[in-house]
Structure 1
């Protein structure tokens, strides 16, 4: 009888250890992911927002992401704008059993950098159709000088420090779904709204884009 009890205890102990090992292994697998996103939409003109993401699975309801986002607008115009953002995103997945589709909402904040591509713009050439003779001199009367001084006072100054700070901070809000193609490969579709915090101060409508992406869990 003692031998039988010892065998039963050995089996129970072995099964419990195996279960604990499998649980710890499953928890340690697929903790991280990397992926690519491509967003396109309309925000005062056609805009494109491709990005690279690196993420961490905190639990089944929460994920944290680091995203490098490019912001390109007015590509075909002389007023083209190109910027880059580094965003820290938080994703929340509500408890909805609709596998393999998972609904999520996310929000992020980060720094924004305006990029001036080489060769863009007018190159600083003068647009005055009647260039002045370098040897010519201009004489202003007292009244004209006073008027010019008053006009200079009326010229708007540059952006304030607060505006510069708000213009250097990006935000991004998104609602979307993840679709599990395989345990390692996940597709994503979402609708995003974002821009710089200075746009919120000026009551501008944020850029809206449709974003698709793919991620690999490892």
Structure 2
């Protein structure tokens, strides 16, 4: 009779999802198992999944750590590519911030997930919690404040305007352009942004400039 009851408890635990528990909860549960209590009973009373409790007891006997480690959402090679992308964007003068890194990571992560069906929920995107762990795994990346290129270096003066005009006139003549190649443009894109921004850059690199 006792064996049948334990089998029912085991089946119930196998079917249910595990709850939240701390490392201290796990250590206490393992201590109870070592003193002779049944795995199934301890699992049910502590909300620690039966299989987890069994595997952790095995790890404890082998001298392994009881700390719970979450597998990174992105493979280490993909994270390394993401670090290189951050460095490349910095080199070309378009540094990215935390939101940009998270957006790029989600672009890669969601592309790797299976297409949801009517019976499955769409995958959840990575969050700021993932970003903090990512930065912790890659100490080569550090928060920085971008420096605005001095106004004098991006100022359009009369000499520069004349040089551009004569260059364009020469190209129109050389390539025999007609009026169909003339486009109306405004100067919005050439207006400098005077505000500094929080970015992520390689640790030890020189000042991070943005246009």
Report the TM range for the smaller structure's normalisation.
Answer: under 0.3
Higher strand content, 1 or 2: 1
TM-score of the aligned structures, taking structure 1 as reference length: 0.18
TM-score of the aligned structures, taking structure 2 as reference length: 0.19
